[in-house]
Amino acid sequence: QARVVESGGGLVQAGGSLRLSCVASDIFSIGFSGWYRQAPGKQRELVASITNTDSTEYGDFVKGRFTISRDHDKNTVYLQVNDQEPADTDVYYCEQENRQRRYWGQGTQVTVSS
């Protein structure tokens, strides 16, 4: 059964770092993967994306603190977040997309304390 599972969230102090992981199972020919975040009552926004050729894009707010990468052999996409700020507190969602459809994970909570 096709699924996307995120992990790596948690509680971190401001200035700290986290690496989020997103594993795709039974999803083939993934062309696009993205990390999004969403706070309660707000729209989901793109943090970073990466294509199957490792071309990357970042949201306007990223300012160099986020890095997206992909391990093709493990079918895993990572989001490294450094120098975290309290404003980074959100649920982070991973999307994996092929020509048939978009697959979403359940999200992983990141909480940054000041």
Residues 62-101 have pLDDT tens digits of 878 999 999 999 999 999 999 999 999 999 999 999 999 9
DSSP 6-21: EE--EEEETT--EEEE
- pLDDT averaged over every residue in the chain: 95
